[in-house]
Amino acid sequence: MAIEVRIPTILRTYTEGQKSVEGSGATLAELLSDLDSRHSGLRDRLVDGSGLRRFVNVYLNDEDVRFLGGLATPVADGDTVTVLPAVAGGGR
């Protein structure tokens, strides 16, 4: 088993058009480094010097990693990571 990472349309240029890719690592940071070794440039679109980029949201099993531990959030085989452009608010 591996960790599935879902990629939004605007970043699929880094994944040869694939909607999801697989990777491994013990933390989100390790996972993103592992992905970058096969999908060069992807990591830079998600992370800057201080952590996750402001207008990027990353979810671990649908839970916002900013509330979990950011890049240090532990990840494990079988988890699903979803990357999304940040859009705040909902609708009522």
Enumerate the H helices of 1-92 as residue ranges: 28-38, 42-46
Based on the shown chain and the rule CB under 8 A, indicate whether residue 74 belongs to the binding site for other proteins. Answer: no
Strands (E), 1-92: 3-6, 20-23, 47-48, 51-52, 56-60, 63-64, 80-85
Is 64 one of the binding residues for other proteins (CB under 8 A)? Answer: yes
In the numeric block, which tokens belong to residue 59?
């979810």
Using CB under 8 A as the binding rule, the residues of this chain from 30 to 59 that contact other proteins are: 55, 57, 59
Q: Which stretch binds other proteins (CB under 8 A): 12-20, 25-33, 35-43, 77-85?
A: 77-85
- Residues forming contacts to other proteins in the complex (CB under 8 A) are 8-10, 55, 57, 59, 61-64, 66-68, 82, 84-92
